[in-house]
Structure 1
Amino acid sequence: MPDDNAFDRGLRTRRAVLGDAYVDAALARADSFGAPMQQWTTEVCWDRIWNRPGLDRRSRSILNLGMIAALNRPHELAAHVRAALRNGLTVAEIQEVLLQVAAYCGVPAGVDSFRIAGGIVAEWTREREGGDPDAPPSPADDCA
């Protein structure tokens, strides 16, 4: 039997990190086949992992960027670049993570990751009406 508390806690964390619009769209796309994966991801990744006390959200974002870039998962990388910005990483920090990916995982992974992240950073900056792309988002930006 699923742990409804784990789902609810995970959903709150998932929304805080990825934003309501992203989470709502993911849940809306889930048909009877995909719904178990949405539930599992929300409970395991977003509650049992992201809510553990050992690392803060910034650190988890850094790890996710590196792992997802290394695995060449462009859709997830785009989501987690946005999440990293929401969690307070600067553009310069994201660049450093992706440079390290290029050094350890290969230039093609780095090039693709920079291309994807660059588009997200440009979008993020435009949404903030020309604000400093290296400034972390304000706490008010955490509400989608």
Structure 2
Amino acid sequence: MLTPAPQDPSPVTTHLLDFVFAEVWLRPGLTRRERRLVTLPCVAAADSEGPLREHVYAALSSGDLSIGEMRETVLHFAVYAGWPKASRFNMVVDDQWDRIHQDRGLAVPPPEPLLPLATPSDPEERLAFGERCFKDVNCLPYAPQRDNPFQGAGILNFVFGEMWLRPGLGMKERRLITVACVAFQDAPYPILSHVYAALKSKDISFDEMDELALHFAAHYGWPKGSHLNQVVAEQKQRVIQEWSEETASNS
């Protein structure tokens, strides 16, 4: 966290130190950088100002995330957790980036240029990109129809025609953020589909997904973590069965 540890003797602080930081953060299943990508969505969604500022500051000041990667994290979070919470997240990122440079006596560097975008500008080509990306990311043979604004303009044109294809974060990093986001939502299909796709694609290993569930539980709560853990167990069995069937059909 790059700040002094809290000293109060309350049970919350005691176990924050001896479990969350002395145990969970030090486990080998995920890197510290990867754990930050799980933590940031949790604290941004929890509407807790202090932890959000502290974790944004620590991720940037440590160099675990660059400012470009942090801003991509905010954008990805906005899609899966909502623009109002992401707006606050974005303001905190700007504040902490300024704070880091002020503390170091440095000028804040200019932002990276937004344009040109890495994805096509032609509407038809962009939708086609979105359809292919949707299939690749979700490990599915089909994509949504372009028949309404949510699916066509939102899912295909922007979420998969632009955001998932942006170069600022890698596929594994985007999956870590996404799984954390869908785990604190109450929509049953997205958590199932994104856990499944992360495992089926092998972007996140079975052991890494177990660690993700533990880290998520520590930062967003055990009830939601328990649900994520249950979904993980179910989707592991589904993926194992599919791999077995694929192996049999190829032999």
TM range (shorter): 0.7 to 0.9
Q: 3-state SS of the aligned residue for 1:47?
A: coil
The equivalences for 1:13-28 within 5 A come to 13-21=133-141, 23-24=142-143, 26-27=144-145
Deviation at 1:44, TM superposition (A): 1.2
119-128 or 12-21, which deviates more = 12-21
1:104 to 214, 219, 222: 219
Q: Any unmatched runs of 5+ in structure 1? A: 131-144
Taking only aligned residues, the RMSD between alpha carbons, in angstroms, comes to 2.2
Partner of 1:56: 170
Deviation at 1:125, TM superposition (A): 0.7
**How big is each residue's C-alpha offset from its partner over 1:26-70, in whole Å with a ceiling of 9 and x where there is no partner?**
44xx8x6xx321111111111211000011111111110011102
Partner of 1:9: 129
1:94 to 209, 230, 242: 209
Structure number, greater radius of gyration: 2
Deviation at 1:83, TM superposition (A): 1.7
Which amino acid in structure 2 is aligned with residue 9 of structure 1? F
When residues 73 and 97 of structure 1 are mapped into structure 2, their CA distance, relative to the original with a 3 A threshold, is farther
Q: Any unmatched runs of 5+ in structure 2? A: 1-121, 246-251
Q: TM-score scaled by structure 2?
A: 0.45
Deviation at 1:73, TM superposition (A): 2.9
CA distance in 2 between counterparts of 1:104 and 1:73 reads 20
Percent of aligned positions that are identical: 22
Q: 3-state SS of the aligned residue for 1:110?
A: helix
Deviation at 1:78, TM superposition (A): 0.9
When residues 105 and 72 of structure 1 are mapped into structure 2, their CA distance, relative to the original with a 3 A threshold, is farther
Partner of 1:72: 186
CA distance in 1 between counterparts of 2:202 and 2:132 reads 14
Partner of 2:241: 126
**How big is each residue's C-alpha offset from its partner over 1:64-115, in whole Å with a ceiling of 9 and x where there is no partner?**
0011102233210111112212152101111111111111111110011111
Q: TM-score scaled by structure 1?
A: 0.76
Partner of 2:151: 38
Q: Does 1:116 align with 2:231?
A: yes
Aligned length: 123
